[in-house]
Amino acid sequence: MQVSRSRDGLSDWAGSRHRRLALPSWLLSALFHAATLAMFIWLSQSPGCRSDYAGDAGDGFRQVGVYLTTGETEEEPTDVPDEASTPTSAEPAAAFEQEPLLDAPPIALVRPTDRAESVLGLGGPPQLSGSSNPVPSLQTTPLTGPPPSTPAVLGKSTSLFGIQDAGRRFVYVLDRSGSMSDAPLRSAKAELKASLENLDATQEFQVIFYNTEAIPLVPRSNHSDMFRGIDPHRQDVERQLGSIQADGGTTHLAALEAALQYNADVIFFLTDADELNLNADELASITRRNNGGARIHCIEFGNGPDLTQVGAPRNSLQKLAEQNGGKYRYRDVKRLH
């Protein structure tokens, strides 16, 4: 039997059969791959693959992580909080936004009792409980300290021969007549320097030495005619004290009038004269010009102990101090150093 052959070397029977099976094989391969792709897509879109850790079929993907364990205990991995779920100070957590109210009965508010009006007679309101000590009245409280002419705001206090006072402006009026030579003048200068050490930069002072004329010390600064309680000014005063000598007579009225020109709070007036040779009119003139502006304290240097008896007539220094809110002191020159 002779079999016919085609040009590619196959029999006509095999070639016709091959042509019949070629198209179905290709189509079967395409269908197989399409089915596999459809199966993969269906599995990837199933709820088991896309559900998030909340348990519902969400749109996001589950967050996974790797953690280490020792093998002894099994612990659940700690989920990393999402930044969107972390409450901030600007957006407090929902748990704090709706705080449940305490279930407690309302508290009754007690209104303050109205103050009773004053009633004349025995039916007045009772006294409030408190301290049993009565509050002193301004009218009945005894006055202590400096006289009423003292300024409302005082500076540091200082003293001269035991008389202490406070203020912002001080004037020292010191006798330098011939009778004050040696120990009296030397003691007056030492006491002056000690008094100036107590003053500070907020306080001003001036020193006037007088005999027949009143000569104030001269500050180096041209801005003021008074010194301040600072070391450079105290050193300047100490330098000028070296040239002060005891000489001549005394004119007390001119020295007091010069001191009043500085509008001082305190005036210390020192002399060895028991009498100022001032009559009653001159004392009244000084007091009137002072007008309570300065307290005038008077220190008297005497030869021997104070022999003034209680109730004895007062001298001019005592009257001057009393009329101007000041104090009077006596010092024995034999006890001065």
Segments making up each domain of the chain, as ranges? 1-35, 157-335
**Calpha distance 296→104 (Å, rounded):** 75
Indicate the pLDDT class of residue 299, thresholds 50, 70 and 90. Answer: very high
Handedness of CA 235, 238, 243, 248 (dihedral sign): positive
The CATH superfamily assigned to 157-335 is: von Willebrand factor, type A domain (3.40.50.410)
The answer, yes or no, to whether residue 28 has pLDDT greater than 60, is yes
Indicate the pLDDT class of residue 153, thresholds 50, 70 and 90. Answer: low
Q: Which residue has the tokens 């500070």?
A: 200
Indicate the pLDDT class of residue 187, thresholds 50, 70 and 90. Answer: very high
The answer, yes or no, to whether residue 4 has pLDDT greater than 60, is no
Q: Which residue has the tokens 């020792």?
A: 70
Handedness of CA 171, 175, 180, 182 (dihedral sign): positive
Helix (H) or strand (E) holding 336: none
The answer, yes or no, to whether residue 178 has pLDDT greater than 90, is yes
Residue 183: is it exposed, middle or buried by C-beta count within 10 angstroms (0-12/13-18/19+)? middle
List the one residue out of 175, 323, 192 whose CA is nearest residue 245. 175
Mean pLDDT check: name the lowest of 6-15, 163-172, 218-227: 6-15
The answer, yes or no, to whether residue 148 has pLDDT greater than 50, is no
| CA 223 vs CA 151, 199, 232: distances in Å | 24, 20, 15
| CA 149 vs CA 65, 154, 306: distances in Å | 90, 11, 30
**Calpha distance 33→299 (Å, rounded):** 131
The answer, yes or no, to whether residue 30 has pLDDT greater than 60, is yes
List the one residue out of 257, 282, 289, 255 whose CA is nearest residue 270. 255
pLDDT of residue 155: 81
Q: What is the mean pLDDT of the chain?
A: 75
Indicate the pLDDT class of residue 223, thresholds 50, 70 and 90. Answer: confident
The pTM of the whole model exceeds 0.75: no
Tokens coding 244: 């002060």
pLDDT of residue 142: 36
